[in-house]
Chain A
Amino acid sequence: MAIETPLKGFVGESIKRKEDDRFIRGKGNYVDDITLPGMLHMAILRSPFAHARIRSIDASAAQALPGVVAVVTGELLAQHKLAWMPTLSGDTQAVLATDKVRFQGQEVACVIATDPYVARDALPLIEVDYEVLPAVVDPHKALQPDAPLIRDEKEGQTSNHIYHWEAGDKAKTEEAFAKADRVVTLETFYPRCHPSPVETCGIVADVNPATGHATLYLTSQAPHAHRTLFAIVAGLPEQNIRIISPDIGGGFGNKVPIYPGYVVATAASLLIGKPVKWVEDRSENLISTGFARDFHMKGEMAVRNDGRILGLRVKLLSDNGAFYADAQPSKVRAGLFHIVTGSYDVPAAHVEADGAYTNKAPGGVAYRCSFRVTEASYLIERLVETAAIELGKDPADLRIKNFIQPDQFPYKSATGFEYDSGQYEKALRLALEKVGYEDLRKEQAEKRKKGELMGIGIASFTEVVGAGPGKQYDIAGLRMFDSAELRVHPTGKAILKLGVRSQGQGHETTFAQIVAEELGIPAADVEVQEGDTDNTPYGLGTYASRSTPVGGAATAVVSRKLRDKAKKIAAHLLEASDEDIEFDHGKFFVRGSPSKSKTIQDVAFAAYTNLPDGMEAGLEGVTYYDPPNFTFPFGTYLVVVDIDRGTGQVKVRRMVAVDDCGVRINPMIVEGQIHGGLAEGFGIAFMQLITFDEEGNCLGSNFTDYLLPTSWETPKFETYETVTPSPHHPIGAKGIGESATVGSPAAFVNAVIDAVGHLGIKNIDMPVTSDKIWTALQAAGAAE
C-alpha cells in the first residue's frame, strides 16, 4: 500500500486550515463571547429622524430605571472633548449628537446598565425634543443652492459639497474625443449596499481605574491603527491601550472604521470603572455602520468604428452621507477609482469626482474591494458592453482588441497607475473555452428567433490592491506598510506575529505556508498570531486585499532574513564556508555534497546552543515591509442567464470564473475566497440594496428588507486559473480576497443586458430585480 507523504504546507499546497479546529467545535472566540466580571451593557438611542435639531434631552426617567447605571449624552461627552471625532477622510463625525441629528439611526445617547435587556428598556424613557428639519437624500438635490445645509456646524461650509477631485489628463482626453468616430455613453448608479458580515460590530471595553490601562476587545480589521486613533481621539496614552481583535465573524470592510459605540463604551468604562460591552444588533449595523458604493457615474468612451478605444471620460458624484467618512488613504478623495481604465490600453482618460453630504449614514467603506475599485471596474465593464452593443461587435472581440498586451508591462495607465503584470487575453480566452462561448452564441441566436431571452455577460476586470507604497498612501498619516515578526524556538517550532488581522481569510494557515516555503519549517509547526496589539508588530490591518501583498511579503522577507542567519549557523555546524551553503526546503547542505546537511530544526537548536563566535543568540526577526507598488490581480468572469419574459425573473445558468492572482499560496483557500466573492457579487447585482424614502427613512434596516443570497439562489461557480506572478512581490502573489466581488457584478448585469439589449434596453441599475426587468420589457413591448 502506498504511503502518502504528509503535506508540509509549502506554497502551492492545499493543506487544511489550522483555524478550523476551534470553529467546527463552536469554540471560536468572538467579541460577543467575551464576558468579564462585573461587566455592564450598553445600548444606544438612535435618531428616528434623518435631519432634526435637538432642542433638549431629558434622561432623568431613564436614569431612574432600576438597573441603569448611567446615561451618556453628547453634552457629557462634550465636557470631555469627545462629542466629535475625526474620520478617516479628514472630516469630523459626531460621536453622540449635540446640535443636530443628520441621519436616521445616528447615535444620540447611550444607556449603561447591568443587563442588556434593561439597557434597551431605558432607551424609550429618554425624552428627546426634536425640531424636524427638511432632509435631503439625493446627492444631486443636496448640491442645489436651496438645499438644506447639513453640516452647518462646520466653519466655512456653505453648501453640501465635500470635495472635487480629478485624475488623468483633461486636454489630452478632449483631443481623443475629437478624433473619435463615436462616443459611447453610459449613465449608471452603483447603489448603496452594505457588507453585512454575519457577525455585527461590537466592543468590550475594560479600562482599569487603578492602572489606567484600557483593554479593548474589538471587532477590528485594523487593531494597530485603531489603537493609535483611539489614543488620539480619547487622549489616552498609547502604551496604556491594548486592542484585542479576537476571532472576527467576517468583515468585508465593515470593521475598518471606528464607530461611535466603541468610543462611548470606552469612555463609559473609563468613567464608571467597570467593563462595558456593546454589541450592535442587525438594524444598528445596517442603518449606521459603514455602507458601500452609492456612486452616480457617467462614463463616456471615445471609440473608432473598428472598436478601438481612444479615450475615456468619467464624471462621478459620490453620496457620502452626513459625514465624509470614507475609509481610504488620505491623499485620495474617491479612493482608487481612477483604475477605471481597467484592463484596456486607453491612451487618454480623465476622471472628475465630486462628493456630497446627504442625510444618510456615513461610511463609504471598501466593501470587499480596494477603495472604490468595484465601482470603477463596474463602470468600465458596463461601458465596454454598451460599446459592443452600439458598434454591433462581439463583446469578447472588443475586449481582445483593446487589452493591454503582455509586452506592455509594466504599463503606465492614463490615470497614473503602473500595472505590474497581466495576461488579459489569456484569461478571457480560457473563460470562453470553458464556457463554450461559440455554441452559446449560436444557442442564443436560436432562442432569440423563438422570442426567448438568454444572455452571456463578460467582465474582464483588473484590480489594484495591496496598498500600498507608504510614501503615497497612508491612513491618517500612518504609512501603509505591514509587518511580520518571526521567532523560531530551539526545537524548531515557530511563532509568526503579524500586523494584519484575518476575518476568515485563513491567515493562520496561509502565512504559516510562506514560512514553510522560505524556511522549511512545516506549516503545522508555525503558530500564527494576530490581533493583539501588545503581542504583534505594528501594521495597518486587513482590507483592500493587502494582507498577502504586504503582510505576506513581510513574512517572506523576515523568513529570508532568518534564513540568512541560519545559513551562517549551518556553515558553522557543517564546518564549511557561508558561501558554500545551499538551502532547499528546510535543508542546509554543502554545495556539491547534499548528504552533508543540517535541517532547519538542527540549526534552530544551534541558534540557542552552539553559535559561531561573535554571533548573537536566537533566531528571531521582524520586518516592516513597504511595497514598491500595488499588485494588479485580474481575470475574466462569464455569466450565462435565462430570463423569463412573463416575470422578468433571471436564472443564472452558469458562472465561469478565471482568476489570476499570481502565485497561489494555498489553492484551496484561494478558491474559497473566489467563491465567497462571487456570491457577494451575485447578491449585489440582484438583491442587496440600502435605500431611503424621501424623508430619509432607511428602507433596508433588517434582513427582511436587506436581502442576502442563500444557498438556494446562489449559482454554482466553475473556477479556473491563470498564473501571472507579480514581479515585485517576494513570492509573486497578488491577493485574492476581493477580485470576485469587484469583477462579478458587471458580469451579471452584462449578462442581463446581453439578453435584452437587442430590444433597445441599454441599462438596468442594480439590483437587477425581476420587477425592474419586467418593467423594462414592458416598456420595450416585450413582456409576456
Chain B
Amino acid sequence: MLPAPFEYHAPHTTEETLELLDQLGDEGKVLAGGQSLIPLLKLRFASPAHLVDVNRVPGLDVIEERDGVLRIGALFRHKAAERSTMLASRYPVIAEAAGQVADPIVRNRGTVGGSLAHADPAGDWGSVMLALDAEFVLQSKSGRRSVKARDFFSGPFSTALQPNELLTEIRIPAAQGRTGGAYLKLERKVGDFATVAVAVHLQMDDGKVRSAGIGLTAVGAQNLKAEQAEAALRGRGRTEGRPARIRGVQAQCGPSLYPTRAQTRPRARQGRCMKMGRPITVTVNGEKTSAEVEPRLLLVHFIRERLRLTGTHIGCDTTHCGACTVLFDGVPVKSCTMLAVQADGRQLTTVEALHAGGALHPIQAAFKEEHGLQCGFCTPGMMMSSFALLAENPDPTEEEIRWALSGNICRCTGYMNIVKAVRAAAVQMKEAAAVPAGAATGS
C-alpha cells in the first residue's frame, strides 16, 4: 500500500492555507493528523493531486474557554483532549470520548477537527459534538461561516465543508451549572470503530435536567442527534434506580445504514508522474541528516530504505499493528502513517537508539529476561511504546501497561510476558534512578 504521487504544501499561516485551498479547489486536500487520510491515500481510495499540510500553522491547536464559549482548535489532538483536566471536569463527554478514539498511538497524532471533517459515521467525535450542540467555524479566502454540528454532517464521509474551506475551530456553548456526561462505546477491540456508541452531555439545574445533548455513533449514515430523546429528558429529575427508558431514540434511528467497508472496485486510471524531491533535515537518533524525498515517501520508508535502520518494521499499512512505531519529537507515532516530509526539522527516535551507549536499555533487557518476544517482528514497536509509557508514567500498573500498548499488535506472545517485561523494566529503571550517579556499588 503506497500512495499515488501528489504535490505537498506546508503553509505557515492560516491565510496562506486559505489561499492555497482557494487556488487548488477540488484538487487539494487538507492533511491534519492524517490517521485516516494517509491510509486512504495508501489504499488509493483517495488520490488528491495536492496535500495541504496544516500541521505547521500555529494557533490551530489551542483550547480555551472564554465569553461563554469553549473553543477547540481544529488541530487539537485526541491525546490532548484525553489528558486535559479542564475537559475532564467540565466536559466529561469530551474527555471520555477522547480516550476511546482509535488507539493510544493514533491518538497522539490524530486531531479532533480532522476526524470531524472526515465524517466517518462510525467516528466518535461527531456524536460528541452533536451532544454538545457545537458549531464549526469554516474559513475560506472569502470569509468565515459557522455551521451547527447538526447541519454539518450530510452522509457517510460527507459534510458541509467546501473544498476551499478549512475547519479552523469548534465552538461549544460553555458548560453552565452542574454538568455531566459520558461516552459509551461498544467496540470489539481497541482500534475498532464503534459497533454502536452514545455521547451524552447533561446540564442540571436544581436537580432537574436543564439541557440534554445526545449523539449517536454508527447507527445511521452519519452521526445522529437524538433530538426527541433530548427533549424527553429536559426538565426531568434524577430517577432512582434504573433510568427510565427514553422512547423515541429507537424510532429515530431506524435500521443501520452504515455501508460495509468493502473494497471499492474501479481505480483511477490516470498515470501521474513522480514528483520532484523536497529537501528535508531530520535529527534521527541524535544525528542530523539531510535528504531529498518525494512528498509521498512514507516516513517508515525513509527510515528503513534511506537510512537503512531496518529495526522499524511494516506490518499492516493501516495504523493498526504498530510495528512501525517510532518517537516523533518524543511521542510515539506510527511511521507508516506519516510522510517523510512531515519530519522536516523534527526529532526521530528509533529502536536502534535504545542501546545507543552500547549497553542494553532496561526495556530491552527486560523483554529478553521475561520472554516478552518470540518472532521479534513487533518487538521494536512494542519497546518504543513501552519507552514512551515509562517516560510518562514510571510506575504503571498492569492495566495501565495493557492500555498503553493497545496500539501495538503482537501475534506470538499473548501479551502476558510483554506486560511483565514492562513492569520489570519500570522497577529496574526506578532502582537505577535511585542510585546516585557515581555511587560506589561494591561491597
Tell me the complex Cα distance, A771–B368, Å: 40
Tell me the complex Cα distance, A66–B371, Å: 48
Q: Which chain A residue lies CB-closest to B193?
A: A704
Flag B395-414 by CB within 8 Å of A: 1 or 0 each: 00000011101111111111
Residues on B with C-beta less than 8 A from A249 are 313, 315, 375-378
- Verify B374–A505 contact, CB threshold 8 A: yes
B2 contacts partner chain A, Cβ-Cβ < 8 Å: yes
Q: Which chain B residue lies CB-closest to A771?
A: B195
Residues on B with C-beta less than 8 A from A705 are 261
Given A24-B368, A282-B1, A198-B189 contact (CB < 8 Å): no
Tell me the complex Cα distance, A677–B415, Å: 11
B260 to chain A: closest CB distance in Å?
6
B276 contacts partner chain A, Cβ-Cβ < 8 Å: no
- Looking at B3, B355, B376, B408, the one whose CB has the most chain A CB atoms below 10 A away is B376
- Verify B318–A704 contact, CB threshold 8 A: yes
A347 contacts partner chain B, Cβ-Cβ < 8 Å: no
Tell me the complex Cα distance, A32–B313, Å: 9
Q: Which chain B residue lies CB-closest to A197?
A: B411
Flag B1-44 by CB within 8 Å of A: 1 or 0 each: 11111000000000000000000000000000000000000011
A547 contacts partner chain B, Cβ-Cβ < 8 Å: no
B352 contacts partner chain A, Cβ-Cβ < 8 Å: yes
Flag A682-710 by CB within 8 Å of B: 1 or 0 each: 00001100000100011101111101111
Residues on A with C-beta less than 8 A from B412 are 250, 504, 672, 676
Of A127, A281, A504, A716, which contacts B1 at CB under 8 A? A281
Tell me the complex Cα distance, A631–B226, Å: 60
Residues on B with C-beta less than 8 A from A244 are none
- What's the dominant secondary structure at chain B's contact region? loop
Residues on A with C-beta less than 8 A from B4 are 121
- Verify A120–B262 contact, CB threshold 8 A: no
A326 contacts partner chain B, Cβ-Cβ < 8 Å: no
Query: Which B301-322 residues have C-beta < 8 A from chain A?
Result: 304-305, 308-318, 320-321
- Verify A121–B367 contact, CB threshold 8 A: no
- Verify A769–B263 contact, CB threshold 8 A: no
Given A697-B263, A712-B189, A282-B271 contact (CB < 8 Å): no
Tell me the complex Cα distance, A104–B263, Å: 10
A199 contacts partner chain B, Cβ-Cβ < 8 Å: yes
Query: Which A110-126 residues have C-beta < 8 A from chain B?
Result: 115-118, 120-125
Residues on B with C-beta less than 8 A from A25 are 311, 351-352, 354-355, 360, 364
- Verify B320–A26 contact, CB threshold 8 A: no
Given A705-B261, A712-B403, A117-B2 contact (CB < 8 Å): yes
- Verify B320–A679 contact, CB threshold 8 A: no
- Verify A33–B310 contact, CB threshold 8 A: yes
What number of residue pairs across chains A and B have CB atoms under 8 A from each other? 254
- Verify A647–B186 contact, CB threshold 8 A: yes
- Verify B368–A17 contact, CB threshold 8 A: yes
Residues on B with C-beta less than 8 A from A168 are none
Residues on A with C-beta less than 8 A from B383 are 24
Query: Which A395-444 residues have C-beta < 8 A from chain B?
Result: none
- Verify B377–A48 contact, CB threshold 8 A: no
Tell me the complex Cα distance, A701–B413, Å: 24
- Verify A26–B262 contact, CB threshold 8 A: no
- Verify A125–B269 contact, CB threshold 8 A: yes
B140 contacts partner chain A, Cβ-Cβ < 8 Å: no
- Verify B188–A199 contact, CB threshold 8 A: no
- Verify B188–A506 contact, CB threshold 8 A: no
Q: Which chain B residue lies CB-closest to A195?
A: B411
Flag B412-428 by CB within 8 Å of A: 1 or 0 each: 11111111000000000
A493 to chain B: closest CB distance in Å?
22
- Verify A713–B190 contact, CB threshold 8 A: yes
Query: Which A656-687 residues have C-beta < 8 A from chain B?
Result: 668-669, 671-672, 674-680, 686-687
Tell me the complex Cα distance, A200–B413, Å: 18
Residues on A with C-beta less than 8 A from B371 are 16-17, 668-669, 671-672
Flag A1-37 by CB within 8 Å of B: 1 or 0 each: 0000000000000001101111111111010110100
Of A24, A198, A679, which contacts B415 at CB under 8 A? A679
Q: Which chain B residue lies CB-closest to A283?
A: B1
Residues on B with C-beta less than 8 A from A66 are 273-274
Given A30-B313, A198-B323, A708-B318 contact (CB < 8 Å): no
A252 contacts partner chain B, Cβ-Cβ < 8 Å: yes
Tell me the complex Cα distance, A49–B360, Å: 51
- Verify A708–B409 contact, CB threshold 8 A: yes
- Verify B373–A20 contact, CB threshold 8 A: yes
Tell me the complex Cα distance, A282–B263, Å: 13
Residues on A with C-beta less than 8 A from B409 are 198, 703, 708, 710
Tell me the complex Cα distance, A121–B41, Å: 12
Q: Which chain A residue lies CB-closest to B367?
A: A24
B379 contacts partner chain A, Cβ-Cβ < 8 Å: yes
Flag A642-664 by CB within 8 Å of B: 1 or 0 each: 00000101000000000000000
A76 contacts partner chain B, Cβ-Cβ < 8 Å: no
Q: How large is the interface on A (under 10, 10 to 19, 20 to 34, 35 or more residues)?
A: 35 or more
- Verify A708–B411 contact, CB threshold 8 A: yes
- Verify B103–A24 contact, CB threshold 8 A: no
B173 contacts partner chain A, Cβ-Cβ < 8 Å: no
A503 contacts partner chain B, Cβ-Cβ < 8 Å: yes
B247 contacts partner chain A, Cβ-Cβ < 8 Å: no
- Verify A48–B413 contact, CB threshold 8 A: no
B292 contacts partner chain A, Cβ-Cβ < 8 Å: no
Given A48-B263, A710-B405, A702-B311 contact (CB < 8 Å): no
Given A675-B413, A710-B103, A20-B316 contact (CB < 8 Å): no
Of A21, A122, A678, A680, which contacts B411 at CB under 8 A? A680
B109 to chain A: closest CB distance in Å?
17
- Verify B5–A20 contact, CB threshold 8 A: no
Residues on B with C-beta less than 8 A from A117 are 2-3, 5, 274, 294, 296-297
Query: Which B251-270 residues have C-beta < 8 A from chain A?
Result: 260-263, 265-270
Flag A41-64 by CB within 8 Å of B: 1 or 0 each: 000000011000000000001000
A137 to chain B: closest CB distance in Å?
13
Residues on B with C-beta less than 8 A from A679 are 411, 413-415
Of B317, B376, B411, which contacts A283 at CB under 8 A? B317
Of B3, B189, B376, which contacts A20 at CB under 8 A? B376
B272 contacts partner chain A, Cβ-Cβ < 8 Å: yes
Q: Which chain A residue lies CB-closest to B274?
A: A118
- Verify A713–B375 contact, CB threshold 8 A: no
Tell me the complex Cα distance, A770–B320, Å: 21
Of A26, A48, A65, which contacts B309 at CB under 8 A? A26
- Verify B376–A504 contact, CB threshold 8 A: yes
A67 contacts partner chain B, Cβ-Cβ < 8 Å: yes
Query: Which B334-384 residues have C-beta < 8 A from chain A?
Result: 350-352, 354-355, 360, 364-365, 367-369, 371, 373-380, 383
- Verify A687–B188 contact, CB threshold 8 A: yes
- Verify B311–A26 contact, CB threshold 8 A: yes
- Verify B261–A699 contact, CB threshold 8 A: yes
Residues on B with C-beta less than 8 A from A120 are 2, 44
Q: Which chain B residue lies CB-closest to A123?
A: B267
A256 contacts partner chain B, Cβ-Cβ < 8 Å: no
Q: Which chain B residue lies CB-closest to A705?
A: B261
A248 contacts partner chain B, Cβ-Cβ < 8 Å: yes
B48 contacts partner chain A, Cβ-Cβ < 8 Å: no
Tell me the complex Cα distance, A199–B378, Å: 9
Residues on B with C-beta less than 8 A from A669 are 371
- Verify B408–A710 contact, CB threshold 8 A: yes
A29 to chain B: closest CB distance in Å?
8
Other than A16-B371, A283-B1, give 4 A-B pairs with Cβ distance below 8 A.
A23-B379, A124-B269, A282-B315, A676-B413
A-B contact pairs, 19 of them (CB 8 A): A26-B351, A30-B313, A115-B274, A120-B44, A127-B269, A197-B411, A198-B378, A198-B411, A199-B315, A199-B375, A281-B1, A283-B43, A668-B371, A676-B414, A698-B262, A702-B320, A711-B402, A717-B414, A770-B195
Q: Which residues of B approach A to under 8 Å, CB–CB?
A: 1-5, 43-44, 103, 186, 188-193, 195, 260-263, 265-274, 294, 296-297, 304-305, 308-318, 320-321, 323, 350-352, 354-355, 360, 364-365, 367-369, 371, 373-380, 383, 401-403, 405-419
